[in-house]
Amino acid sequence: MKRSAQEIKQLREQLDELTGTGQLRLVSDQAAGLHPSDLADLIESLAEEYRVEILCMLPTPLASQALVEMAEGEDRAQLLAALPAEKIAEFLRALPDDDATDLIGELEPDDQRKTLATLPVDEAGDIKRLLRYDEETAGGLMTTELVEVEASLTADEAIRQVRILGRDVEDFYTVFVIDQERRLLGTMRLDDLVVADPGASIKALVEEPSVTVSPDEDQEQVGKLLGRYNLAAIPVVTDEGVLLGRITFDDVIKVIESEQTEDILMLAGVTDEDELKHTWVQSVRTRLPWLMLNLATAAIAASVILVFKDLIEKELTLAFLAPIIAAMGGSSGTQSLAVTIRRITLQGSGSARGFVAKEILVGLVNGAVLGVGIALLAFLIDGNVMLGLVVLLAMWGNQIVAGFAGAFIPTRLDRAGIDPSIASSVFVHTLTDLLGFFLLLWLASHLLL
Amino acid sequence: MKRSAQEIKQLREQLDELTGTGQLRLVSDQAAGLHPSDLADLIESLAEEYRVEILCMLPTPLASQALVEMAEGEDRAQLLAALPAEKIAEFLRALPDDDATDLIGELEPDDQRKTLATLPVDEAGDIKRLLRYDEETAGGLMTTELVEVEASLTADEAIRQVRILGRDVEDFYTVFVIDQERRLLGTMRLDDLVVADPGASIKALVEEPSVTVSPDEDQEQVGKLLGRYNLAAIPVVTDEGVLLGRITFDDVIKVIESEQTEDILMLAGVTDEDELKHTWVQSVRTRLPWLMLNLATAAIAASVILVFKDLIEKELTLAFLAPIIAAMGGSSGTQSLAVTIRRITLQGSGSARGFVAKEILVGLVNGAVLGVGIALLAFLIDGNVMLGLVVLLAMWGNQIVAGFAGAFIPTRLDRAGIDPSIASSVFVHTLTDLLGFFLLLWLASHLLL
């Protein structure tokens, strides 16, 4: 049932009152009408002491799905650890194996073993197999529950088989066509199968799969392929082409969102994609190392000022101009960097030459305009034409390098297999700081005195 | 047919040779085996002179889908303008109405009218209606082609109707249940309908739709809802609940990607989400205004140095320390800003108090550590304990403000209905620059001399 944010807030307030008076039964009656995603939010907003009780009171299918929809992290892990083992097993039995694996993956190894022991042998086996894959790979995302038909059937026979197999499979949009060795021959969208001529043979209807992935494929790549080819589900196959499982669009949307969070945060020097769920202590731990690195590089760049101390003493306007030129290099470098990193994420780092050249050109033009601007400012303050020329050249040079570095460094890093987001940011800013200070003061020492 | 990047590259090289020798027929034979998305890339990589010819030689369903998959922008608009009017009409007839509308939307108004006049009246009418919606709204994304059944049917009757209606509808994963006035009663996943007991009534099977959107809903909100509720398609309805169309997950994935591009670029001061397709002239035009604003704010911040000129003349180490303290404020401010903006995108700007408090706490701790670091550095260079204390306090204060401003400013802007990404970045950096310079020099003027 759909609820507006307003309705959910009202419900939240009612629940606060009810939990205050201990009438948990009433709370769970209210909550039973929610969508699992809304229920997940509600549970996350409740005090810890009520979470376990509410979950145990709610119908198992709803409660288990709400657990899946809760944000991954300490909160959920604690809640899982607090649930009775039989209740967890009951929840897991109600879930598709990929969701069950995600939940079990958050338990301590001991609790994992205990819980798996309470499950039917074949379900426990599926989950154990899935647990072996890295969470951020195709194997970590896939479910082994799918609807498959053999190519030798007619459309009518296939639909009859889909009707039987489909009862145990959640949300299948794609029918997988296999041979007798369970090798994938192709896929059919369920809607194509439904409208097909009943007598047509599946062999004639099947599309060779436009794309398959191996279980070790990185989740980011899975997201790119599904988006690019507009697929509702991607088949996961072994090297021999045997069908292992499928990954559906809804899992992929979550992957795309979390990969994008990672990109944005990395670019800003926040190295942990789970930052949004962190307590302040965890945030200090993940952000401080990068800030300390920044302090070191900023100090190295600024030490150029110490080298030219005597010059600055004679011409104090330079102390005013130096941080401006460095900061503007940083601004342009950040623009170029963000565009390049987004380009790499969406299109890969191939064929970069034209792209780097474009960024240099942009720096050349922007640098000329900004250089004239700061030269006028310097002249107004100081009345010295030569100082104007010095800052013009320093700004211009630094802008060109900023454009070049912002495009070139991440492209190179990506080709070398290094995530470009965080390393590039440090490189580019150190370079533009250092060069900004140096160009200004070196030119001033040669042209001014 | 799936092609690896390597295979596509080889094909590309073959095509280069073939177009060179004028054997376009051979080129189009090669290209006919490609997935529309791959063909789109190939066409984009061809010289302009061959694009029209290749498109006209290829089978219409493939060529029209490749046009849809090409990146929106000048390139495609030029190609469309260069195609003969009858050919465009042929392509449009082969496409679902949302895709046809996207293509027609790129033509000049005159060409739009001419092309619409060549289409069958009902198709032209659908497209005209869709053209009225803003591209970035639910109406701009939706297709009116969908499969609907009345609630009074049994599952068996409904499937029979789906089989007939479904022949003209691409990729339907969801069946929409309506009453006699075409008001939406709910939705059914096609797989649920297929496995349902043939005698069951649709009324009993239908799920009240977990979510619907109005045609004016912002596309970003559509993306959030579809992702949150794991839907293959969202129904678009009028205020009276009458079904207008549907938006499917593949369109939403493209929306999510483009909204994220916008977020990343805005945060870096690139205000045009189409930046990735821009020529260098367009890039200069979109990036330079922001850089000039930055130059102005950087100059204002640095003018604090001019105010304290005499002080710096006496203690030149301050000219070395000032840009470091300002830069570190910028680094922490960027971290806090990126986390906050990502949080707003994913969760909205509600209940921010705890969040701002957390960022202040993080700034308090990080600032203390960084302050001690730079104080030691200053003491090593200058040997003056008091100078150490001054930079410790300046760094500390600036870090706390950076954490606060990075969290508070975007939250406030978002609540005021202003896109926080770009404005926050200017505010936060100007503030941390200004305060960094001022705190250092003001404290120094009081404590040092």
DSSP for B38-102? HHHHHHHHS-HHHHHHHHHHS-HHHHHHHHHHSPSSHHHHHHHHHS-HHHHHHHHHTS-HHHHHH
- Which CATH class name applies to B148-256? alpha beta
Q: What is the CA radius of gyration of chain A?
A: 30
Nearest-CB residue to A370 (from B265, B291, B322)? B291
Q: Which residue has the tokens 């070139």?
A: A408
Given a cut of 70, is residue A388 above it in pLDDT? yes
Query: Average of pLDDT values for A335-346?
Result: 87
A391 shares contact with chain B (CB less than 8 Å): no
**How many CB atoms sit inside 10 A of residue A313's CB?**
15
Instruction: Residue A410: list chain B partners with CB under 8 A.
Output: none
Strands (E), B190-281: 233-237, 243-248
**Helices A60-69 + A48-57 axis angle, to 10:** 140
DSSP of B101-123: HHHHTTS-HHHHHHHHHHS-HHH
Q: Which residue of chain B comes nearest to A343, CA vs CA?
A: B276
Residue A337 tokens read as: 């960097």
Q: How far is B260 from chain A (nearest CA, A)?
A: 7
Residue A370 tokens read as: 């900004």
* One fold for B5-132 and B148-256: no
SS3 A142: coil
Domain boundaries, chain A: 5-132, 148-257, 273-447
Given a cut of 50, is residue A1 above it in pLDDT? no
B13: amino acid identity, one letter: E
Whether B346 sits inside 8 A of A261 (CB atoms) is yes
A305 shares contact with chain B (CB less than 8 Å): yes
Q: Which residue has the tokens 């408090």?
A: B357
In CATH, A273-447 is 1.20.1560.10: no
**Residue A359 contacts residue A336 (beta carbons within 8 Å):** yes
**Residue B428 contacts residue B405 (beta carbons within 8 Å):** yes
Report chain A's mean pLDDT, rounded to a whole number: 88
Q: Which residue has the tokens 């509410």?
A: A54
- Count Cβ atoms within 10 A of the Cβ of residue B22 and give its class: 0-12 exposed, 13-18 middle, 19 or more buried: exposed
Residue A342 tokens read as: 């987004």
A103 shares contact with chain B (CB less than 8 Å): no
Please, which pLDDT band fits residue A170 given cuts at 50, 70 and 90?
Answer: confident
Query: Average of pLDDT values for B183-204?
Result: 93
Residue A287 tokens read as: 């952000």
Q: How far is A110 from chain B (nearest CA, A)?
A: 32
Q: What gap in Å lies between CA B212 and CA A83, rounded to an integer?
A: 35
Q: What gap in Å lies between CA A104 and CA A129, rounded to an integer?
A: 12
Whether B173 sits inside 8 A of A194 (CB atoms) is no
What CATH architecture does domain B5-132 belong to? Answer: Alpha Horseshoe (1.25)
Instruction: Residue B145: list chain A partners with CB under 8 A.
Output: none
Strands of the sheet containing B148-150, edge to edge, are B148-150, B174-178, B184-189
B162 shares contact with chain A (CB less than 8 Å): yes
Q: What gap in Å lies between CA B424 and CA B138, rounded to an integer?
A: 28
Nearest-CB residue to A166 (from B167, B191, B299)? B191
Q: Phi, psi at residue A149, to the nearest 5°?
A: -130, 155
Q: Which residue of chain A comes nearest to B188, CA vs CA?
A: A171
Cβ contacts from A onto B, under 8 A: 309
Q: Where on the phi/psi map is residue A154: left (φ > 0), alpha (ψ -120 to 50), or beta?
A: beta
Nearest-CB residue to A268 (from B229, B326, B334)? B334
Give pLDDT tens digits for A410-446: 999 888 888 787 788 889 999 999 999 999 999 999 9
244-263 in chain B: CB under 8 A from chain A: 249-250, 252-254, 256-257, 260-261, 263
**Residue B346 contacts residue B415 (beta carbons within 8 Å):** no
Instruction: Residue B290: list chain A partners with CB under 8 A.
Output: 331, 335
418-447 in chain B: CB under 8 A from chain A: 433, 437
Instruction: Residue B437: list chain A partners with CB under 8 A.
Output: 323
What is the maximum span of chain B, computed from C-alpha positions, in angstroms?
93
Q: Which residue of chain A comes nearest to B251, CA vs CA?
A: A230
**How many CB atoms sit inside 10 A of residue B45's CB?**
14
Query: Average of pLDDT values for A10-14?
Result: 70
Q: Which residue of chain B comes nearest to A206, CA vs CA?
A: B1
Length of chain A, in residues: 449
Q: Is the ipTM of this complex over 0.85?
A: no
Whether A302 sits inside 8 A of B313 (CB atoms) is no
Whether A250 sits inside 8 A of B261 (CB atoms) is no
Nearest-CB residue to A257 (from B256, B294, B299)? B256
Nearest-CB residue to B366 (from A173, A228, A284)? A284
CA distances from A362 to A32, A161, A400, B82, B390 (A): 58, 60, 8, 30, 41
pLDDT at A2: 47
64-83 in chain B: CB under 8 A from chain A: none
Given a cut of 80, is residue A28 above it in pLDDT? no
Nearest-CB residue to A331 (from B159, B171, B291)? B291
**Residue B175 contacts residue B190 (beta carbons within 8 Å):** yes
Whether B337 sits inside 8 A of A268 (CB atoms) is yes
CA dihedral sign, ordered A249, A250, A255, A260? positive
Instruction: Residue B226: list chain A partners with CB under 8 A.
Output: 253
How far the first Cα of chain A sits from its last, in Å, is 77
348-367 in chain B: CB under 8 A from chain A: 358, 361-362, 365-366
Query: Average of pLDDT values for A303-324?
Result: 92
Please, which pLDDT band fits residue A5 given cuts at 50, 70 and 90?
Answer: low
Instruction: Residue A187: list chain B partners with CB under 8 A.
Output: none
Query: Average of pLDDT values for B149-169?
Result: 93
Whether A194 sits inside 8 A of B228 (CB atoms) is no
Whether B269 sits inside 8 A of A335 (CB atoms) is yes
pLDDT at A65: 93
Q: How far is B37 from chain A (nearest CA, A)?
A: 7
Residue A400 tokens read as: 């060109």
CATH superfamily of A148-257: CBS-domain (3.10.580.10)
Whether A291 sits inside 8 A of B330 (CB atoms) is no
Given a cut of 70, is residue B392 above it in pLDDT? yes
Instruction: Residue B341: list chain A partners with CB under 8 A.
Output: 264
Q: What gap in Å lies between CA B431 and CA A188, rounded to an integer?
A: 57
Q: Which residue of chain B comes nearest to A273, CA vs CA?
A: B339
Residue A298 tokens read as: 């900023």
pLDDT at B1: 39
Please, which pLDDT band fits residue B248 given cuts at 50, 70 and 90?
Answer: very high
Give pLDDT tens digits for B217-243: 999 889 989 988 889 999 999 999 999
Given a cut of 80, is residue B191 above it in pLDDT? yes
Q: Phi, psi at residue B447, to the nearest 5°?
A: -100, -25
What percent of chain B lies above the pLDDT cut of 90? Answer: 54
Whether B191 sits inside 8 A of A210 (CB atoms) is no
CA distances from A132 to A101, A437, B9, B386 (A): 10, 52, 35, 58
8-state DSSP, A154: B
Q: B243-248 and B233-237 as β-strands: parallel, antiparallel, unpaired?
A: antiparallel
Q: How far is A105 from chain B (nearest CA, A)?
A: 22
pLDDT at A15: 66
Give pLDDT tens digits for A92-122: 999 999 999 999 988 888 888 888 888 888 8
8-state DSSP, A71: P
8-state DSSP, B167: G
A3 shares contact with chain B (CB less than 8 Å): no
Nearest-CB residue to B257 (from A1, A195, A227)? A227
Instruction: Residue A228: list chain B partners with CB under 8 A.
Output: 37
Q: What gap in Å lies between CA B300 and CA B433, rounded to an integer?
A: 9
Q: What gap in Å lies between CA A250 and CA A229, rounded to an integer?
A: 15
Query: Average of pLDDT values for A293-305?
Result: 92
**Mutation choice for A interface testing from B283, B437, B440 by most A CBs within 10 A:** B283
A379 shares contact with chain B (CB less than 8 Å): no
Strands (E), A100-153: 148-150
Give pLDDT tens digits for B62-109: 999 999 998 877 788 889 988 888 888 899 999 999 999 999 988 888
Q: What gap in Å lies between CA B398 and CA B377, rounded to an integer?
A: 18
Most confident of A22-36, A199-213, B147-161, B279-293: B147-161
**How many CB atoms sit inside 10 A of residue B18's CB?**
18
Q: How far is A203 from chain B (nearest CA, A)?
A: 15
Nearest-CB residue to B291 (from A37, A159, A366)? A366
